[in-house]
Structure 1
């Protein structure tokens, strides 16, 4: 949709602070009234745009190869966060720290559904014997994604494909070792 594409492009160009409903409407070729009919704020527009982008750029696939699937999915997340200084996803995360309504919507519309997809993929890996049946999926979530957001927050540079594959392999090895230690 033109409104969502306009919001993403403008956020990349101006940052969240410079993003306005007026600018979104002008770029999308619609009226402000049309935007306000569907979204209550610029944050809500950008959040929906981020949701759509996340679904298309960083889906949770299941090819039967956990390492390949997690590397691909996490590189999709990195793509959404790149470039760090002009990422609409990073902008909405920052805005969620200031706006409780955006935080709630981000959690409900983007984060929780993606956690559910992640857990579904992990359960598939458990059934296939790629990771132990008793693997702590909450810990796995933190181990996989924590480093990306740590690097984002502290401007440490996001991992490239080789770094990501190495991290994914380490997490999977840790999950397997946890299962061996408990068994």
Structure 2
């Protein structure tokens, strides 16, 4: 007996142009309205596609917002760590900027949508984790700073250090802990060790 050919996919092929139009419309609508007032209907109208196209490719509004974030379409400059050559100062500035963002209503809803999307879809969670690992990411910045902190040595667990830093931020945001002066510096010192 010969093996049967795999079934052919039916339905329209995912167009990269349409995907980008949907993501760009989502980013614009998110910036203008925030997460709570973002609608699939509004995104579909702005991207000139049917709602069913969006739902075929993304299971929820939170998955769509998470993909926009991973693609760098939401808040790209606020989420990129600075690079002045001083890893401790750079991470402190980055943590402070993220904590400031998360204190804003738009930032809080963005975090909620990312967590919901990652809980619904393991691929989104994996992509969010991978977005931390690029050369311009926290992992890349830590690797580039070998020798500037006691635990930044060749072969150090840079991914785990990055995850610890991000995890501390997420936990603070989820618990809605009030911000105190010096929070960012204390979080960075907990991850990198004392100055």
Q: TM-score, normalised by structure 1?
A: 0.68
Shift of 1:58: 1.3
Aligned residue number for residue 121 of structure 1: 141
Aligned residue number for residue 167 of structure 1: 187
Would the aligned equivalents of 2:133 and 2:159 in 1 still touch at CA under 8 Å?
Answer: no
User: In the alignment, is residue 12 of structure 1 matched against residue 29 of structure 2?
Assistant: no
- 1:147-166 correspondence to structure 2 within 5 Å: 147-157=168-178, 159=179, 162-166=182-186
Would the aligned equivalents of 2:93 and 2:184 in 1 still touch at CA under 8 Å?
Answer: no
Would the aligned equivalents of 1:58 and 1:75 in 2 still touch at CA under 8 Å?
Answer: no
Encode CA deviations 1:124-175: one digit per residue, 9 max, x unaligned. 111x533441543244224322221112222323x4562112321343225x
Structure 1, unaligned stretches of length 5 or more? 177-183
Encode CA deviations 1:42-76: one digit per residue, 9 max, x unaligned. 34431233232253211133211111110122233
Aligned residue number for residue 86 of structure 2: 65
Give the CA RMSD over aligned residues.
3.2
- 1:57-96 correspondence to structure 2 within 5 Å: 57-83=78-104, 86-96=108-118
Would the aligned equivalents of 1:21 and 1:32 in 2 still touch at CA under 8 Å?
Answer: no
Higher helix share: 1
Structure 2, unaligned stretches of length 5 or more? 1-23
Would the aligned equivalents of 2:83 and 2:141 in 1 still touch at CA under 8 Å?
Answer: yes
Describe the shift of the 1:142–1:113 C-alpha distance in structure 2 as closer, same or farther (beyond 3 A): closer
Q: TM-score, normalised by structure 2?
A: 0.65
Would the aligned equivalents of 1:66 and 1:125 in 2 still touch at CA under 8 Å?
Answer: yes
Out of 38, 50, 53, the residue aligned to residue 33 of structure 1 is: 50
Would the aligned equivalents of 1:7 and 1:24 in 2 still touch at CA under 8 Å?
Answer: no
Question: What is the aligned residue count?
Answer: 163
- 1:46-57 correspondence to structure 2 within 5 Å: 46-51=65-70, 52-57=73-78
Larger CA Rg, structure 1 vs 2: 2
Distance in 2 of aligned mates of 1:8 and 1:111: 23
Distance in 1 of aligned mates of 2:67 and 2:101: 14
**Partner-residue secondary structure (3-state), 2:64:** helix
